[in-house]
C-alpha cells in the first residue's frame, strides 16, 4: 500500500488526542465553519506551491529539453509535495481539531463511514491539488527515454494518480470503519473486551488478505496478458517453481511506469501484475527475473507474514496509546508543560506521531528491505542454470517441456540478468540508483548485495538463515505485545 495514504490514515484516525481534551466543549456550527475554512486554506496553499514548482519545471524542460535528471527532480518534487500535504493535514487534524469539528460541529458522530470520509477530505483535496500543479511538468517529461507512452488529459491523469495512491488504502479504511461500528454495536456502553477487539481485528486482517486481489482489480486498470511467447515463458517459469495464480495481468499506466506486483495470499485468488511500460521496454529474460521476484514474495510467504505483522502492530499501537494516556497527560508525574489543554494536545500528538513513525520506519522498514533482498535472490534463481561455471548459459525458461530442475545455487549469468532488470527499472523510472528507499532499499545497494553472492553459495545460506532468525524474533516480539495488550485491556481501548 502507498505509504503516504497510510500515514494520512494514521494521522487522522490513530491518535489519543482527536476528541476534545479535558472536557472542553465541542465546536458549534460557526466554529466548525472556521475550521473548514482553515482546512481549505491548507488545500489552497499546497496547490499554489505545487503550481509554482510544476510551472517552473515545465518551462525549464521547454527551454532545454527533457533529461533524466529532470525526471528525478519531478519525482523528488512529487514526494516533497505529498509529504507537505501530510504535514498540513496533521496540523488541520491536531491543531485545528478537524475530526472534532466533523463529529460534533457537523453532527456526523455515529455515522462512522461518512464521518471518516469527511475527516479525510482535506487530505484528498491536497493530493489532487499537488498532482494538478505538477501535471504539465509530468506530461512533458513522461516520454523521456520510454517507448509506448500515452498522454492523457488532466482529468484522466488525476483519476490514474488517485487510483494508484488510494485505491488499495480506502477499501481498508472502510473495513476499519466497519470494525469500529461493530465494536460500538457489541459494547454500546463502553470499550469492548480486549478479546472481542482481538477477534475483530484478526478478522479484519484476514479479510484484507483475502480481498486484496479484488481491491487491486478495482483500483488499478489492468487486462490479462495476451497469449504469446512472453506469456508462454512466464507460465513455464511458474510451473517450474510450483507457483499457482489466477492470472497474469498487464497493468495499464499509459506507458509511464515500470513496475510489477503480486497480490493475493491464497493461490486460488492471486494476480501478478506487470506494467505496460515494463512489457514494452524490458527484454523477455529481464521480465522473467522481475516476475520471479514477485513469485519470491509468495514463495517466502511475505504477504501472510505482513498480515500477522499488522495484527501484532495493533498490540504495539494500543500499548503505545495507553502509555501516552498515562505519562503524557496533565497531572501525570512527568508532565511539566502547564495546564493548557492545547499544549497537552500538541505534546501527545507529537509523541504519537513520532513513536508511530519511528516504529514503521525502523521495524517495518528494515524487515521490508530484508524481504526485498530475499525476493531479489529468488528473481536471480528463476533465471539461473545452477552451474557456477556458466556461461555458456541456457535460456532455462524457453526450453520445451517441464524445464530443468529448480537450481540450488545462483549462477553468474542469472544474477547478471536480474541486475540488468533492476538497472533498467531505475533508468526508465528516472530513479537515482543511490537514492534511499525505506521499504526497498536503494537500487545500488541491492545490486551490490547480489554481486556479493556470485560464486559464494555459503553467503546466500547465511543471509537466509539470518533472515529466518529475524522473522522469528520480530514475530515473537509482536506476539508478546499483542498478548500484553489483551491481558492489560489496552487493545479494547484502541480507537
For residue range 361-400, list pLDDT tens digits in order.
889 889 999 999 999 999 999 999 888 778 888 888 887 7
Do 108 and 243 share a domain, yes or no?
A: no
Structural domain total, the chain: 2
Do 298 and 150 share a domain, yes or no?
A: no
Do 105 and 195 share a domain, yes or no?
A: no
Q: Distance between the two ends of the chain, CA-based, in angstroms? A: 21
What is the C-alpha to C-alpha distance for residues 434 and 430, in angstroms, rounded to an integer? 12
Do 337 and 461 share a domain, yes or no?
A: yes
What are the distances in angstroms from CA 468 to CA 80, 303, 308, 336, 408?
Answer: 35, 15, 15, 44, 18
Do 455 and 399 share a domain, yes or no?
A: yes
Do 412 and 377 share a domain, yes or no?
A: yes
3-state class of 262 per DSSP? strand
Looking at residue 434, its pLDDT comes to 86
Residue 208 lies in a domain: yes
* Chain position carrying cell 499457482: 244
Choice between 34 and 404, residue whose per-residue pLDDT is larger:
34
Do 424 and 484 share a domain, yes or no?
A: yes
Q: What is the pLDDT of residues 273-329, one digit of tens each?
A: 999 989 999 999 999 999 999 999 999 999 889 888 888 888 888 888 888 877 877
Do 244 and 374 share a domain, yes or no?
A: yes
DSSP state of 107: S
Whether the Cβ atoms of residue 81 and residue 50 lie closer than 8 Å to each other: yes
Residue 177 lies in a domain: no
Output the average pLDDT for the chain. Answer: 81
Pick from 112, 137, 166: which residue ends a domain?
Answer: 166
DSSP state of 362: I
Do 480 and 369 share a domain, yes or no?
A: yes
Binned at pLDDT 50, 70 and 90, residue 472 comes out as very high
Q: How many CB atoms lie within 10 A of CB 197?
A: 26
pTM to 2 decimals?
A: 0.78
Tell me the average pLDDT across 155-159. Answer: 81
State the helix-helix crossing angle for 3-13 and 68-90, rounded to 10 degrees.
10
Tell me the average pLDDT across 101-119. Answer: 73
Binned at pLDDT 50, 70 and 90, residue 70 comes out as confident
Residue 176 lies in a domain: no
Residue 174 lies in a domain: no
Percent of the chain whose pLDDT exceeds 90: 28
What is the C-alpha to C-alpha distance for residues 277 and 62, in angstroms, rounded to an integer? 24
Do 193 and 288 share a domain, yes or no?
A: yes
Do 254 and 204 share a domain, yes or no?
A: yes
Looking at residue 459, its pLDDT comes to 95
C-alpha cell at 336: 511539566
Tell me the average pLDDT across 462-483. Answer: 94
Q: Is the pLDDT of residue 204 over 50?
A: yes
Do 145 and 250 share a domain, yes or no?
A: no
Task: Give the range among 219-223, 238-242, 284-288, 470-474 with minimum mean pLDDT.
Answer: 219-223
Binned at pLDDT 50, 70 and 90, residue 417 comes out as very high
Looking at residue 190, its pLDDT comes to 58
Could you tell me the residue range of the domain that residue 67 belongs to?
Answer: 1-166
Amino acid at each position: 500500500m502507498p505509504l503516504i495514504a497510510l500515514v494520512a490514515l494514521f494521522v487522522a484516525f490513530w491518535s489519543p488526542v482527536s476528541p476534545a481534551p479535558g472536557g472542553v466543549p465541542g465546536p458549534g456550527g460557526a466554529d466548525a465553519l472556521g475550521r473548514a475554512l482553515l482546512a481549505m486554506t491548507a488545500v489552497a496553499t499546497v496547490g499554489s506551491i505545487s503550481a509554482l514548482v510544476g510551472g517552473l519545471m515545465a518551462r525549464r524542460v521547454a527551454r532545454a529539453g527533457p533529461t533524466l535528471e529532470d525526471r528525478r527532480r519531478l519525482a523528488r518534487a512529487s514526494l516533497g509535495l505529498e509529504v507537505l500535504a501530510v504535514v498540513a493535514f496533521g496540523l488541520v487534524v491536531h491543531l485545528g481539531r478537524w475530526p472534532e469539528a466533523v463529529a460534533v460541529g457537523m453532527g456526523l458522530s455515529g455515522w462512522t463511514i461518512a464521518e471518516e470520509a469527511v475527516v479525510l477530505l482535506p487530505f484528498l483535496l491536497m493530493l489532487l491539488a499537488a498532482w494538478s500543479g505538477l501535471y504539465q511538468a509530468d506530461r512533458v517529461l513522461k516520454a523521456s527515454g520510454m517507448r509506448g507512452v500515452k498522454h492523457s488529459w488532466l482529468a484522466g491523469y488525476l483519476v490514474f494518480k488517485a487510483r494508484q495512491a488510494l485505491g488499495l488504502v480506502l477499501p481498508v479504511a472502510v473495513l476499519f470503519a466497519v470494525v469500529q461500528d461493530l465494536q460500538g454495536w457489541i459494547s454500546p456502553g463502553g470499550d469492548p473486551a480486549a478479546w472481542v477487539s482481538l477477534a475483530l481485528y484478526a478478522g479484519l486482517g484476514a479479510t484484507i488478505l483475502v480481498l486484496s486481489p479484488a481491491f487491486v482489480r478495482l483500483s488499478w486498470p489492468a487486462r490479462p496478458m495476451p497469449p504469446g511467447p512472453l506469456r508462454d515463458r512466464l507460465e513455464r517459469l511458474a510451473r517450474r517453481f510450483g507457483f499457482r495464480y489466477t492470472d497474469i495481468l498487464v497493468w495499464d499506466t499509459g506507458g509511464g511506469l515500470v513496475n510489477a506486483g503480486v497480490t493475493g495470499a491464497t493461490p486460488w485468488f492471486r494476480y501478478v501484475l506487470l506494467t505496460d511500460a515494463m512489457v514494452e521496454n524490458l527484454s523477455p529474460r529481464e521480465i522473467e527475473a522481475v516476475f520471479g521476484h514477485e513469485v519470491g514474495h509468495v514463495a517466502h510467504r511475505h504477504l501472510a507474514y505482513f498480515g500477522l505483522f499488522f495484527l501484532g502492530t495493533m498490540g504495539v499501537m494500543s500499548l503505545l496509546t495507553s502509555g501516552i494516556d498515562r505519562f503524557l497527560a496533565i497531572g501525570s508525574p512527568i508532565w511539566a508543560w502547564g495546564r493548557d489543554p492545547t499544549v497537552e494536545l500538541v505534546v501527545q500528538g507529537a509523541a504519537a506521531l513520532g513513536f508511530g513513525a519511528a516504529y514503521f520506519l525502523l521495524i517495518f522498514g528494515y524487515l521490508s528491505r530484508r524481504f526485498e533482498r530475499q525476493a531479489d535472490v529468488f528473481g536471480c534463481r528463476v533465471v539461473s542454470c545452477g552451474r557456477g561455471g556458466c556461461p555458456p548459459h541456457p535460456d532455462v525458461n524457453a526450453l520445451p517441456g517441464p524445464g530443468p530442475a529448480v537450481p540450488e545455487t545462483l549462477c553468474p549469468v542469472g544474477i547478471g540478468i536480474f541486475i540488468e532488470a533492476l538497472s533498467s527499472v531505475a533508468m526508465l523510472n528516472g530513479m537515482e540508483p543511490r537514492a534511499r528507499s525505506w521499504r526497498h532499499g536503494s537500487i545500488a545497494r541491492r545490486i551490490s548485495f547480489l554481486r556479493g553472492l556470485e560464486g559464494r553459495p555459503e553467503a546466500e545460506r547465511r543471509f537466509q538463515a539470518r533472515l529466518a532468525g529475524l522473522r522469528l524474533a520480530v514475530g515473537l516480539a509482536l506476539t508478546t505485545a499483542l498478548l500484553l495488550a489483551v491481558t492489560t485491556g489496552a487493545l479494547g481501548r484502541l480507537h
